[in-house]
Structure 1
Amino acid sequence: MRNPAALLPWLVLVGLAIGLPEFAASALEKHKNAYATMMYMGTPRDYEFYIALRVLLRSLARLKVDADLVVIASKDVPQKWVSAMENEDGARVVSVENVENPYRNQANFDKRFMLTLNKLYAWSLVEYDRVVMLDSDNLFLDKTDELFQCGQFCAVFINPCIFHTGLFVLQPSEEAFNGMLKQLKDGRENPDGADQGFLVGYFHELLEKPMFKPGRNGTRQDGYFRLPLGYQMDASYYYLKLKWNIPCGPNSVITFPSAPWFKPWYWWSWPVLPLGLTWHERRRAVLGYADDLPHLISHTAVFLILLATVRLCLSRICIRRTSDKTAATAFASSLYPFIMKCFLFFLILASITIPFFVIPRTVHPLLGWTLYLAGSSAFMVVVANAFFLPLLPALTPSIGIAGALFVMAFPAYNDGVVRALAIWAYSFLSAPFAWSSVSRMMNSIQVSFNREAIFASRPGELPLPQFMKVY
C-alpha cells in the first residue's frame, strides 16, 4: 500500500461500527430497581427540602448503589432545580401532576401534608422490578441494595402498631396505582390525611407478616414483609445512648420523623440534636454549601439594615430634650418607668429572636451559631448604649447561650441521660447570674428615672436623660 494514511478513515469507521452498538447499549442500560423520592412545591420549606433531597441523592450515589435514582417531581418544581438533580446529581426526574388530597377538610388535617399523596406515584414506575421509596430526611449509613429482594410491600414498624412511610419497598403496578387513586376518590378513611394514614390503612395486614431476611443468593421474595428497625432507625432512639447498636439486624438508615423544626439540616438542630452535625458533615462531603451563599449574603444584608434602623430609631426617640413641665411630670409618673422597662424587655427578647429567624436555615451549624451569637450581641450592644446599661449584664443572654451550646456539644458524655443532667446542672448554676444581670439592668434604669424625677420637680429646662443618650 503506497499510502497507508488512506486506510485510517476506513479503520476509524470499522472501529465505530464495532464499538458504537456496545457503547450505546451500555449508555442506555437501566437498572432493574430504583431508589425514589419526591419533590413538590407550595410550602415555606421548599428550598430546604430541595437541599435535603440533593444530599440524599448524592449520598446514595456515593455508596455506589446498584439502582437508578428517581425523583417524582411535581410540574411546578423550578427547571433550575430539575436540571441540577438530573445533570449534577445523576437522578432521573419524573414530572407528575399533584394528587388532589381529598382529606384537606378534615378537622385534624395538617397543611404540611397537602401533597404527600404524590408518593403514590411510586407504584406507577412499572419499568422497575422493585422501588425503595424514601423521604428526604433519611441519613444512609450503609448500602441497602438487599432491600430489592423484598416482596410486593415491605416497611418498618417504628411504632409498635403502625409502620412508617419514610422508607418502604414496593413492586410497581399500574393496577395497584389505579386502585389507590380510586380509593382516594371513594373517600377511604384516613386518620391523618397524609400518605402515612392512607398506606397504613391500605396495607393494614402488614403487622401480621414475617420479618424480612435477605437471601444469600439474592433471590427476590414474594409477599408482604416487615423490615427490621435498622432500616428506619428513629433519631429519637439515638439520644438514649448517643450511638447506634442494634445487634439483631442492620444499622443502615436513620430517619427524623419527630419534631419538624428539628430536621437535621436546620443549623440550630446541633448541638441540641447531635446527629444534626452528622448530616451536615455528609452534606459538606457530597454537596457543599455553594447554594446557600446567595441566601447567606442577602439575609446578612437584611440583618445589618435592620440593626442600623433600630439604632436610628432609638437615637431619634431617646435624644429628644424637653422643656415642657407637663412632659417633665410625665417622666416622673409611675406609669412611664413601667412602660420603659417593658420596652427594654421587648428589645432584649428581640435581640435573642430576630437573628434566629434571619439566618438561612440550611447553613452549617458552626456558621449558623456563630452568626447568631454575633448578631444577638451586636443588637444588644446597640440597646445597651441607648439605655446606658452596663455592657456585661446586657450581653449575659448571648454568653449564657454560648455556654449552653458548649455543654450540649461536649463530646465525652456516656449517654443521653448524663447529657440531659449536665444541661440541667448548667441551667441551675447559671440562673443566679442571669437573674443578677437582669436586676442590674433594671436598677440602672430605675436610677436614671429617679434622677429625672428630681430634675422634673425643678423649674427650667430638663437635662438630657441618662437612659435616653445614644452614642
Structure 2
Amino acid sequence: MERGNRVVTFLRVLLVLIAAVETTALHGVKLKKKEEGHRNAYATMMYMGTPRDYEFYVATRVLIKSLAKLQVNADLVVIASPDVPLRWVRALEEEDGAKVVRVENINNPYKGQQNFDKRFKLTLNKLYAWSLVDYERVVMLDADNLFLQKTDELFQCGQFCAVFINPCIFHTGLFVLEPSSDVFKDMIHAVETGKENPDGADQGFIGAYFPDLLDQPMFHPPLNGSNLDGQYRLPLGYQMDASYYYLRLKWRVPCGPNSVVTFPGALWLKPWYWWSWPVLPLGIQWHETRRQTLGYAAELPIVIIQSIIFVGIIVMTHLARPSISKLCYRNSDRTTSSIQAAVKFVAIWSILAAYLVPFAIIPRTIHPLVGWTLYFLGSVALSSIAINSFLLPAIQVFVPLIGIFGSLLVMAYPWYSNGVVRALVVFGYAFCYAPIGWGSVVKVLARLHVLLEREQFFPKLVESSPPPGSNKLC
C-alpha cells in the first residue's frame, strides 16, 4: 500500500514537471516569435517611371545597408510600386534584409499644375507610411539619406515630427510618424478631393496637411548622448502633451561625428553621381558606404571596356596623324572660304565634345575616383582626335582639362576651417584661372585661323586645275 502511494506521488510530481516544462517551452516560443519583428521601422519608397530609376535603386540599397550595418533596433521597410522589377525586390529582401511592401500607385491629381515637376508624379506613395500600422513609429526617409550612427532616439517622437529646412518649411526627406489607418484614409480623401498642394508632390501635400507644426514644441533627440546645438530635447521616458512636434537634427560637419547625412538640393548633385564629389565633400562618405557594402561590380565591366576604347583612340590617332590631317578642296575662292568656315566649326565643336561626351557615357554611379580618372582619360582620347586632325597645339587644348583637375584638388582639400573659407578659396582659384583658360581658347582659335590662311589644310594645286567635280589628295 505504501509502495502504491509512492508511485502515485511520483507520477503526480512527474506530471507537474512535464506541465512546467511545457509552459516554459510555450512561453519561450512566444518570446521568440515576438523577437522576430520590431516595434518600429525605418522606411523608404521606390517607384518607376523616371530616367533615373536605376540610380535611385542603388541609392535605396545603400541607405538600407547603412542602417543594417549599424544594427538598428527596427525593421527596414521599402514601399515599392507594383512595377518595380522583381529582381530588384529580391535583392532588397534577400541581400539587404529589407521588407518590401508592394502598394498600388496613388493617383496624383496635381500633375496638371503649372509648376508641377513630372519626376514627382508618384511621390504621394510616401503617404503609405501611415498605413504601416504593425509598427508604433516609422522614420520615413528619402533615398538621399545616409546613416553613420544610430539614431533610434527618433522613435521617441509623438504622432508626427519633421525637420525644418528653413524657418517656414519642413523637409519630408526625413520625418517620424505614428502609423494610423484613420490618418491614412483621411490623407487619401484629401488627395482625392484636391486639397491645396503648392508643388503637387509629397513635400507640398504633407506640409499643407500639418500647417501648424512650427508652433508645436521642439523635440531634439539626444544624439551622441549630448545636447549638441544647445536646444532642449525630450528626455528618455518623458511624454509630451502635444500630439506632434518638430525636431531638429544636428549635423556636425566637418568637426565632429555625423549621425545622419541628408543630401537635398540639385538633382544632378546627388551623392551617387560620380561628378558630385568633391563639389559635395560628404559625398565621398556615401561612396565609402557603398564600397564597403554593395560594391561596384555592376558597373565594372563597362568601366573596363570604356578604358580600353579610350586608350585605343589615343594610340590610333597618334599613329594615323600623318594621314588624317590631309584634306582636299576645289580650287575656288568661294569654295575654299566655305570649307574654311566649316573646318573652324568642326574643330571647335570637336574640342567641346571632348569635354562633354565623357559625362554622358561614363556610368553615373561609379566611385568618384574611378569616374574622374575615366573622365580625364576619355577627354584626352577625344581631344587627341581634334589635335591630330586639325594640327592644334596640345598644351593649349589641354589647358581647360588642367584647370578642371586643379579645381578638383582645391575643392577636395580636407583641411578648410569651414565652408565659407572653402567657398572663398574656390572662388579665388576660379578668378585666377579664368584669364589662363580664356587665353588658351584665343590661342587655339588663332592657331586654327593661321593654319587655314596658310592653306595648311588646303594647299594650292598646280596651275592646271583638275576637272570639275574631281578631288585630289594632298
| Alignment partner of 1:162 out of 162, 165, 169 | 169
Change (3 A) 1:450 1:112: same
| Alpha-carbon separation, structure 1, partners of 2:184 and 2:305 | 44
Q: Once the 2 structures are TM-superposed, how far is the Cα of residue 211 of structure 1 from its aligned partner?
A: 0.8
2:254 aligned partner? 243
- Deviation string 1:250-288 (CA, Å, 9 cap, x unpaired) is 953221221111111111111111111121112212222
- Unaligned ranges ≥5, structure 1: 1-14, 463-467
Task: Indicate yes or no: 2:466 matched with 1:459.
Answer: no
| Alpha-carbon separation, structure 2, partners of 1:378 and 1:441 | 18
Task: Indicate yes or no: 2:420 matched with 1:417.
Answer: yes
Task: Indicate yes or no: 2:350 matched with 1:330.
Answer: no
2:365 aligned partner? 362
Contact 2:146 2:286 in 1 (8 A): yes
Q: Once the 2 structures are TM-superposed, how far is the Cα of residue 177 of structure 1 from its aligned partner?
A: 0.8
Change (3 A) 1:299 1:208: farther
Q: Give SS of 2:299's match.
A: helix
Contact 1:158 1:229 in 2 (8 A): no
Q: Give SS of 1:338's match.
A: helix
After superposing the two structures, state which structure 1 stretch, 42-51 or 288-297, moved more.
288-297
- Deviation string 1:139-197 (CA, Å, 9 cap, x unpaired) is 22321111111111111111111111111111111111111111111010100000010
Q: Give SS of 2:366's match.
A: coil
Q: Once the 2 structures are TM-superposed, how far is the Cα of residue 417 of structure 1 from its aligned partner?
A: 2.4
2:390 aligned partner? 387
Contact 1:139 1:279 in 2 (8 A): yes
1:263 aligned partner? 270
1:465 aligned partner? none
Contact 2:317 2:388 in 1 (8 A): no
Change (3 A) 1:172 1:455: closer
- Deviation string 1:382-401 (CA, Å, 9 cap, x unpaired) is 11000011222122222221
Q: Once the 2 structures are TM-superposed, how far is the Cα of residue 25 of structure 1 from its aligned partner?
A: 5.9
| Alignment partner of 1:224 out of 229, 238, 244 | 244
Contact 2:162 2:245 in 1 (8 A): yes
Change (3 A) 1:25 1:86: farther
| Alpha-carbon separation, structure 2, partners of 1:394 and 1:98 | 51
Once the two structures are superposed, the pairs formed by residues 40-439 of structure 1 within 5 Å of their partners are 40-213=47-220, 216-218=235-237, 223-230=243-250, 243=254, 252-297=259-304, 319-322=326-329, 324-326=330-332, 329-331=334-336, 333=337, 335-439=338-442
Larger radius of gyration: 2
Q: Once the 2 structures are TM-superposed, how far is the Cα of residue 302 of structure 1 from its aligned partner?
A: 8.2
After superposing the two structures, state which structure 1 stretch, 71-80 or 432-441, moved more.
432-441
- Deviation string 1:111-150 (CA, Å, 9 cap, x unpaired) is 1111100000001111111111111101223211111111
| Alpha-carbon separation, structure 2, partners of 1:218 and 1:176 | 25
Contact 1:351 1:380 in 2 (8 A): yes
Change (3 A) 1:374 1:62: same
Change (3 A) 1:107 1:19: same
Supply the AA of the counterpart residue of 1:65.
V
1:4 aligned partner? none
Supply the AA of the counterpart residue of 2:463.
P
Supply the AA of the counterpart residue of 2:379.
S
Supply the AA of the counterpart residue of 1:459.
E
Contact 1:303 1:358 in 2 (8 A): no
Change (3 A) 1:25 1:460: farther
Q: Give SS of 1:348's match.
A: helix
| Alpha-carbon separation, structure 2, partners of 1:101 and 1:315 | 61
Change (3 A) 1:20 1:367: farther
Supply the AA of the counterpart residue of 2:285.
T
Contact 1:387 1:469 in 2 (8 A): no
| Alpha-carbon separation, structure 2, partners of 1:337 and 1:373 | 30
Contact 2:163 2:170 in 1 (8 A): yes
Contact 1:157 1:229 in 2 (8 A): no
Change (3 A) 1:414 1:97: same
Change (3 A) 1:445 1:125: same
How high is the sequence identity, in percent, across the aligned residues?
A: 54
Q: Give SS of 2:144's match.
A: coil
Q: Give SS of 1:133's match.
A: strand
Query: How many residue pairs were aligned?
Result: 434
- Unaligned ranges ≥5, structure 2: 1-20, 222-233, 467-471
Question: Which structure is higher in helix share?
Answer: 1
- Over the residues paired in the alignment, what is the CA RMSD in angstroms? 3.4
| Alpha-carbon separation, structure 2, partners of 1:381 and 1:307 | 6
2:32 aligned partner? 26
Contact 2:314 2:384 in 1 (8 A): no
Q: Once the 2 structures are TM-superposed, how far is the Cα of residue 24 of structure 1 from its aligned partner?
A: 8.5
Contact 1:164 1:196 in 2 (8 A): yes
Change (3 A) 1:399 1:288: same
Change (3 A) 1:310 1:71: farther
| Alpha-carbon separation, structure 1, partners of 2:186 and 2:313 | 54
Q: Give SS of 2:101's match.
A: strand
| Alpha-carbon separation, structure 2, partners of 1:244 and 1:205 | 34
| Alpha-carbon separation, structure 2, partners of 1:397 and 1:436 | 10
| Alignment partner of 1:448 out of 446, 451, 456 | 451
| Alpha-carbon separation, structure 2, partners of 1:380 and 1:91 | 46
1:9 aligned partner? none
Change (3 A) 1:455 1:31: closer
| Alpha-carbon separation, structure 2, partners of 1:102 and 1:60 | 34
Contact 2:64 2:96 in 1 (8 A): yes
| Alpha-carbon separation, structure 1, partners of 2:182 and 2:130 | 9
2:227 aligned partner? none
| Alpha-carbon separation, structure 2, partners of 1:146 and 1:132 | 11
Q: Once the 2 structures are TM-superposed, how far is the Cα of residue 219 of structure 1 from its aligned partner?
A: 5.5
Supply the AA of the counterpart residue of 1:451.
R
